[in-house]
């Protein structure tokens, strides 16, 4: 096989891999809210840092994947008041934090690839 053909195959495969990794959006079921008038609103956002610029960040809430978020992206969802475990992963970095959601509270949480 010629080196040009091999180079073309590698280039096409690389683009397909990056394009597949960069697809974001809702990837699971969001939590069911039992009392919408008391629900808390959670907004998760990821800034435009260069870390993981080509990949989406996987977001889980209480062990269930709910979203894949890209660079410079945010999304919001509502939850019943209570405590939740938020896990977000980018490559080999896995970050965990506890969210305490009070009734009718609005929280904005930055998802940093370095867990800071």
Q: What is the pLDDT of residues 60-115, one digit of tens each?
A: 999 999 999 999 999 999 999 999 999 999 988 999 999 999 999 999 999 998 88
pLDDT computed for residue 20 by the predictor:
42
For the chain, give the percent of residues with pLDDT over 90.
60
In a domain, 65, yes or no: yes
pLDDT computed for residue 41 by the predictor:
98
pLDDT at 45 over 60: yes
For the purposes of burial, counting CB atoms within 10 Å of the CB of 53, is it exposed (0-12), middle (13-18) or buried (19 or more)? exposed
In a domain, 67, yes or no: yes
Mean pLDDT estimate for the chain: 85
In a domain, 18, yes or no: no
Domain that holds residue 53: 24-110
In a domain, 104, yes or no: yes
pLDDT computed for residue 91 by the predictor:
87
Give the whole-angstrom CA distance, residue 85 versus residue 96: 7
Averaged pLDDT for residues 33-38: 96
- Least confident range from 6-10, 46-50, 84-88: namely 6-10
The total number of structural domains in the chain stands at 1
The candidate with the shortest Cα–Cα distance to 108, out of 44, 27, 37, 61, is: 44
* Domain harbouring 93, CATH code: 2.60.40.10
pLDDT computed for residue 15 by the predictor:
43
In a domain, 59, yes or no: yes
pTM: 0.76
In a domain, 74, yes or no: yes
In a domain, 29, yes or no: yes
pLDDT at 18 over 50: no
Give the whole-angstrom CA distance, residue 45 versus residue 101: 17
């Amino acid at each position: 096989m010629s080196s040009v053909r091999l180079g073309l195959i590698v280039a096409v495969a690389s683009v397909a891999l990056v394009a597949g990794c960069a697809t974001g959006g809702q990837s699971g079921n969001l939590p069911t809210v039992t009392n919408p008038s008391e629900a808390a609103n959670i907004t998760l956002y990821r800034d435009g840092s260069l870390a993981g610029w080509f990949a989406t960040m996987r977001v889980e809430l209480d062990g269930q994947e709910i979203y894949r978020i890209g660079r410079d992206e945010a999304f919001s969802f509502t939850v019943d008041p209570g405590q939740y475990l938020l896990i977000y992963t980018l490559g080999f970095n896995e970050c965990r934090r506890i969210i305490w959601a009070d009734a009718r509270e609005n929280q904005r949480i930055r998802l940093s690839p370095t867990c800071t």
